[in-house]
C-alpha cells in the first residue's frame, strides 16, 4: 500500500514512536487522525502539523474509542491504516519481597490498567475500524505495536502479557480479515529511546539493557517507524511479528 | 560482616566489594531491586542454611540488617 493520499488512525500519536510515525505519515501526505489521552500534547502537535485530526481519547474506554473511531471516519471519509500504538509501560514483580502481607502481591489495579491500555485498547479500536472497513469494502492494514517484552520480561508480568496478546491478536485478525484484503502485522521494538521508556525504566536498568544489546544502544524511534512503513507498504506482509530489537535477547 | 558475606553480596548486586559496608543500604546500590532481592534471599538461605519468613525478608534493606539476621539465625 502506498501511503500517499491514504487515511490513518494512530493511537498514542502525541509522543514517542507514535509521534515520529505521525510526522512521517503526514510528511508523505497521509492524513492522520491522532488519538491520545494527552490533550496538551495533541494541541502542540496540531500547531506543528495543522492538517492532523487531533482526538482526545482514553483508548482503554470502549465507548470513548467508538466515538473517536466514528469521528475519525466521518472527518476522513475512510480509514486505510490503523496503528495501535498507544500503551503504558509499568513494571512490578509478581511477588514483591520488599513488602509485607498482602502488599507483596502484584497490584490487581495495575494489572488491569496495563492490560486495558495496551491490549484491550487494540481490541476496541480494531473491532470498530475493521467493521467500518468491511461494511464499506475498504482494503487496509492494521499495525499493532508490540514489544520485545512479549517474550517475557522479568518484572513486567502485565506488560509482557499484553504484548504477547497483541502478537496473538495480530495473527487471528490477519487470518480473519485477509480474505477482505485487510492485512494485520505486529512490529515489536526492543528498548527504544523515548520519553515513555525513560520514565518507566530507571536509567540504571536502561544502561544494563544497552550493555546487553549487540548494537550497544537503544533504538531510535525513526528506526521503528521505518519498520511500520515497511509493514504498511509491503502488501504481502501479513500475520507476522517484525522484531526490531537490534538483536537483543531477553 | 565477614569477608565471605561481603563477597557474596558484591556478586549478587554486581558491585565491587569496596561498595559493601555495614553502612550500605539498598538506596546506595542501584542494582538492588525487587528481582535482585529475590537472588539475595535465595543466596542467603543456601549459604547460611536457614529460612526467612516474609517479614524478615521485607526488613532486609541494609547490609547491617543482613548481617544482623545472619547472626540471629546462626545463634537460633
Which residues of chain B lie closer than 8 angstroms to A96, CB-CB? 34
Neighbouring residues of A232: CB distance < 8 A, sequence distance ≥ 6: A1, A3, A81, A141, A143
The pLDDT assigned to B76 comes to 66
pLDDT band for position A23 (cuts 50, 70, 90): very high
Question: In this predicted structure, which of A24-28, A45-49, A155-159, A205-209 has the lowest mean pLDDT?
Answer: A205-209
DSSP A18-29: HHHHHHHHHHTT
The 8-class DSSP code of residue B62 comes to B
Q: Which of B30, B35, B55 has its CB closest to that of A93?
A: B35
The pLDDT assigned to A209 comes to 87
Q: Is the confidence at residue A71, as pLDDT, over 80? A: yes
The pLDDT assigned to B1 comes to 87
CB contact under 8 A, A97 and B37: yes
Q: Which of A92, A94, A96, A97 has the most B C-beta neighbours within 10 Å, making it the best mutation to test the interface with B?
A: A97
pTM of the model as a whole: 0.91
Amino acid at each position: 500500500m502506498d501511503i500517499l493520499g491514504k487515511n490513518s488512525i494512530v493511537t498514542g500519536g502525541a509522543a514517542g514512536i507514535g509521534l515520529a510515525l505521525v510526522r512521517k505519515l503526514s510528511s508523505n501526505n497521509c492524513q492522520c487522525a491522532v488519538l491520545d489521552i494527552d490533550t496538551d500534547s495533541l494541541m502542540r502537535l496540531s500547531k506543528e502539523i495543522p492538517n492532523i485530526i487531533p482526538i482526545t481519547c482514553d483508548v482503554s474506554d470502549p465507548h470513548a474509542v467508538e466515538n473517536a473511531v466514528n469521528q475519525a471516519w466521518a472527518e476522513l471519509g475512510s480509514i486505510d491504516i490503523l496503528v495501535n500504538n498507544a500503551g503504558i509501560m509499568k513494571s512490578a514483580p509478581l511477588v514483591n519481597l520488599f513488602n509485607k502481607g498482602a502488599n507483596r502481591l502484584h497490584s490487581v489495579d495495575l494489572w488491569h490498567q496495563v492490560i486495558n491500555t495496551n491490549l484491550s485498547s487494540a481490541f476496541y479500536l480494531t473491532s470498530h475500524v475493521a467493521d467500518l472497513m468491511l461494511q464499506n469494502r475498504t482494503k487496509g492494514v492494521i499495525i499493532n505495536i508490540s514489544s520485545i517484552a512479549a517474550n517475557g520480561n522479568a518484572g513486567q508480568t502485565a506488560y509482557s502479557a499484553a504484548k504477547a496478546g497483541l502478537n496473538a491478536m495480530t495473527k487471528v485478525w490477519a487470518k480473519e480479515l485477509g480474505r477482505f484484503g485487510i492485512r494485520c502485522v505486529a512490529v515489536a521494538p526492543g528498548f527504544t529511546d523515548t520519553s515513555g521508556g525513560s520514565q518507566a525504566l530507571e536509567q540504571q536498568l536502561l544502561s544494563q539493557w544497552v550493555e546487553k544489546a549487540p548494537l550497544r544502544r537503544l533504538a531510535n524511534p525513526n528506526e521503528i517507524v521505518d519498520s511500520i512503513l515497511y509493514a504498511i507498504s509491503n502488501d504481502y506482509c501479513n500475520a507476522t511479528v517484525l522484531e526490531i530489537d537490534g538483536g537483543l535477547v531477553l | 560482616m565477614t569477608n565471605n558475606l561481603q563477597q557474596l553480596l558484591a556478586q549478587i548486586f554486581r558491585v565491587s566489594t569496596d561498595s559493601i559496608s555495614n553502612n550500605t543500604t539498598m538506596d546506595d546500590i542501584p542494582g538492588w531491586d525487587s528481582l535482585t532481592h529475590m537472588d539475595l534471599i535465595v543466596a542467603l538461605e543456601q549459604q547460611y542454611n536457614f529460612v526467612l519468613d516474609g517479614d524478615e525478608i521485607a526488613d532486609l534493606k541494609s547490609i547491617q540488617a543482613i548481617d544482623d539476621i545472619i547472626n540471629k539465625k546462626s545463634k537460633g
